[in-house]
Amino acid sequence: MDENLPVKLKYRFLDMGIEAYTARDMQWLGKENGELLNLMIANSFTGFITIDNNLSFQIILKITPLP
């Protein structure tokens, strides 16, 4: 989960049996979106939750899809 989301949201996912990590959990606070996406891919993440409205303008997701 991106650092711009409330940490409490993580626990809602965990309550539903969905594994969830925050940027803080992974020590990725302050990472730029491109670097964050590369870290997620390198760590085999399969999803990314954010409320960053500009993300689609900052990263070309078709070039670096999550597995």
Please check whether residue 20 is in contact with residue 66, taking contact to mean a CB–CB distance below 8 angstroms.
no
Predicted confidence at residue 59, as pLDDT, reads 53
Q: Is residue 24 part of a domain?
A: yes
More confident residue, 63 or 38: 38
d(CA 29, CA 43) in angstroms, rounded, equals 16
Please check whether residue 3 is in contact with residue 48, taking contact to mean a CB–CB distance below 8 angstroms.
no
d(CA 8, CA 12) in angstroms, rounded, equals 7
3-37 pLDDT, tens digit each: 888 889 999 999 999 999 999 999 999 988 778 88
Q: Is residue 27 part of a domain?
A: yes
Predicted confidence at residue 41, as pLDDT, reads 87
41-63 pLDDT, tens digit each: 899 988 888 777 665 555 555 55
Q: What is the pTM of this model?
A: 0.70
Q: Is residue 2 part of a domain?
A: no
Q: Is residue 63 part of a domain?
A: no
Q: Is residue 18 part of a domain?
A: yes
DSSP state of 22: -
Domain count, the chain: 1
> What's the length of the chain?
67
